[in-house]
Each structure stands twice: as C-alpha cells, then as structure tokens.
Amino acid sequence: MRFRNFLARSMAGRYGTDQLNRALNFATLVFLVLSLFIGRSGVGSLIWLLALAGLVWGSFRTFSRNIPKRRRENEAYLGLTRNLRDRFRGARDRFRQRRDYRFFRCPSCRTWLRVPRGKGKLNITCRQCGERFTRST
C-alpha cells in the first residue's frame, strides 16, 4: 500500500502513457530482440542504439510534466498513422467475421463489401459506387 501511494504521488502531474508510447515500447522491444540475434557489431550496434533511444524517449514522455505538448505529439502520431491503423483494423474485423461472411472488393472502386457466407452465387451491388458483379459465396 505504501509503495502504491509512493507510485501515485510520483506520477501526479506526469503525463503517463498513450498510443505513441505504446508504439515506442513495442518498437523498443522489437529492436532489443533484433539486437540480441544480430549482436552488438555493425548494424547490430545501430539497432541497439535505436532500442535505447526508444526506451529513453518513451520514459521521457511518460514522466514529462508538459502534458499539452505530449498530447499534441500523440495527436500528430495518430494522424500520421490513421490509414495504416484503419487498414489493420479492417483486416482484423474481416478475420473475426470470416465464418459468417465473405468479403469482396468492388472491382471498380476497391471498397470492401461484406456478404453472408453460403448463399450460392450472389449478385452484389457496391454500396459505394453502384457497380454490380457476381461472386459465389
């Protein structure tokens, strides 16, 4: 309990963690594991330095008292990676629903379309551009 109070007191007014820090921690871990395999010479020492930089930057952001500035950095990070994160989320959602649905891309506008699985040949109309095509489900 005393230790928890100490932790809570020392984190008061500090920024804590966010999505950018989670990405930094993940990158740090990846670099550390890589450098374990490659060793500390040549490219390995560069990767080890990157791991160290990730650790230092992440810790700096966690304990920073300049909360507005850290928030802006996180917003910028989220803005820059929005497309990537959307694509990843889409792939994850399609994977989770794969037993009940089939997913096709519209041949005309490349939008993902979801149709129920096991309905035989279906005429699909794109909800985005109105293109019609046939697929077997």
Residues that bind Zn ion (CB under 5 A): 106, 108-109, 111, 126, 128-129, 131
Measured from the CB atom, the residue of 88 and 112 that comes closer to Zn ion is 112
Nearest CA among 113, 107, 106 for reference residue 90: 113
In the structure encoding, which two tokens stand for residue 124, read together?
Answer: 């699909």
CB 34 within 8 Å of CB 47: yes
Please identify, using beta-carbon distances, which residue of 7 and 129 lies nearer to Zn ion: 129
Pairing mode of beta strands 101-105, 121-125: unpaired
Q: CA separation (Å) from 39 to 31, 35, 45, 46, 47?
A: 11, 5, 7, 10, 9
CB of 33 to Zn ion, least distance (A): 42
Rounded to the nearest whole angstrom, what is the least distance from the CB of residue 124 to Zn ion in the complex? 10
Residue 104: CB minimum distance to Zn ion, A? 10
* Cβ proximity to Zn ion, 19 vs 108, nearer residue: 108
Nearest approach in angstroms of CB 106 to Zn ion is 3
| Nearer Cβ to Zn ion (7/109) | 109
